[in-house]
Amino acid sequence: MSTSTHRRLISLSLLPIPHRISPRLLRPLLLLALLCAVAYVGHISLNRAHALENRDSEEQEQGERYIGIQPVGPWPEPVDIIPEWLDQPLPEPSLSPEEPPAPSPEPVLVPEQPPPPPVVYPWLPNPTQAPLNFPQAVLSPPGPKPYMHNTSIPALTALPGPAAYPCVDDDVFGPLLLVGVFSTAGEWEQRAVLRALQARGMNTRSPRVEFKFILGRENATQVKATRAVRLEQEAYGDVVLLDTDENMDDGKTFAFFRWAAQLREGDRPRFVMKADSDTFLVLPNVLASFSTLTCAQNVYWGTFWGSCGACYPLYMRGLAYALSWPLVAWLGKAQLGWNDTAGIEDIRTAGWFTSLPREEVVQVVDWKRHMGDWYGGTIPHDVHTVALHAMKSPAHWLEVAQEITGIWKREGWEYTWPPAEG
């Protein structure tokens, strides 16, 4: 029975009943109207159930999809992608019979890299580490060409390379790590939660780590919020107001690295991390990882997992990635315009490395599926987790933090770095 038929029967059942209808006839009519009403409600409920089921199915599929990947899955393991670039020779150009062969180019020399020291935590797996020559891998990659930020920038190529900015693995040089948490004026609740909990995992013997909240200038309608931020800075001293308008992909990341590059001696961080405000860093694992790295190398730390390989051959996702001091100082010396700083910020950061001198390589440290979005089934939540992303509220961030620390407790590991003596 159609919906329109249900409605007509119900309407008829509600018409005024003449007094001449006998009670014996009235009872069946009322029963019929009741049955029609029940059938109609059941029909609507069934349609709603189907709609909710379809919506849940779409949300689950969307939750398991990584941002920027087209087509969706299956994704190759990042551990297989990096060596593929390093091992495969570049394709030879095809020459017509009339065209004389071009002289052989100078080989790109990749200095031998010392093997990374073992990770100090027995439960923390070693990440994929490989030296990568970005100009060679990006400007002349095998396979499809990337369509974003794959050209060199004269303002960077004219500078001395990162090797001109030495770094020493010692507290005298500066903090082991500067974490710049990208925030906005209105995210004061998120900042309060991060202040209270993000530094958990450190003890009196931990290396020096600095947390800063990185904000840009708000527009004229946000005057009240900006005043509140300045009061917040006076109270906590951990807010950095960059000399740029608040934005996501219009140069804020470059302004942050340039600000870090201008820190005075003794405060210069050996590694600088850009992190989203909805990222939970498992700090013991993060610090254990950086303690095995040499800041004098051009280190590019993060995760490739879930990135858009068609956009750019390799870039660390923007949830959290880090550069060693030589790369930060090199970027900080450049006078880059909007065209060289705008664009999807995490891809743009990797794009700057196409302007490195050919003799300088980047040590890629890829944590693969140990960093990523909290939802879906591809990022395990265990003692190997390095960072989780996409907690869009303070309460959700706190929930994930409690889950991870609870996992460590159940596994019998103390949530701190370095491990307790004895």
Q: DSSP secondary structure string, 156-183?
A: HHTS--GGGS---SSTTT--SEEEEEE-
For residue 215, the model assigns a pLDDT of 96
Which segment of 77-81, 102-106, 344-348, 352-356 scores lowest on mean pLDDT? 77-81
- pLDDT of 85 > 60? The answer is no
- pLDDT of 328 > 70? The answer is yes
88 residue type, one letter: Q
- pLDDT of 83 > 80? The answer is no
Residue 141 or 418, more confident = 418
CA distance 285 to 122: 11
For residue 303, the model assigns a pLDDT of 95
Q: Tens digits of per-residue pLDDT, 236-247?
A: 999 999 999 999
- pLDDT of 302 > 70? The answer is yes
Residue 348 or 34, more confident = 348
* Torsional class of 412: left (φ above 0), alpha (ψ -120 to 50), beta (otherwise): left
* Placement of tokens 């551990």 in the chain: 79
- pLDDT of 311 > 50? The answer is yes
Tokens representing residue 415 in the block: 């949530």
Q: How confident is the model at residue 225 (pLDDT cuts 50, 70, 90)?
A: confident
So where are the chain's domains?
1-13+27-43, 120-411
Specify the pTM.
0.72
The average confidence (pLDDT) of the chain is: 78
Q: Which residues contact 283 (CB under 8 A, 6 or more apart)?
A: 198, 199, 200, 201, 202, 209, 417
Paired sense of beta strands 177-182 and 128-132, if any: unpaired
Concatenate the DSSP letters of all residues of 47-79 into one string: HHHHHHHHHHHHHHHHHTSPTT-SS--PPPPHH
Q: Tens digits of per-residue pLDDT, 25-75?
A: 666 666 666 666 555 555 545 554 454 444 444 434 444 333 333 323 333
Q: Tens digits of per-residue pLDDT, 96-149?
A: 344 444 444 444 444 454 554 444 445 566 788 888 888 887 766 666 667 788
Give me the CATH code for the 120-411 domain, please: 3.90.550.10
Strand order in the sheet with 387-389: 279-281, 387-389, 371-373
Q: What is the mean pLDDT of residues 299-313?
A: 88
Concatenate the DSSP letters of all residues of 189-235 into one string: HHHHHHHHHTTTTB-TTSPPEEEEEEEEE--GGGHHHHHHHHHHHHH
For residue 73, the model assigns a pLDDT of 33
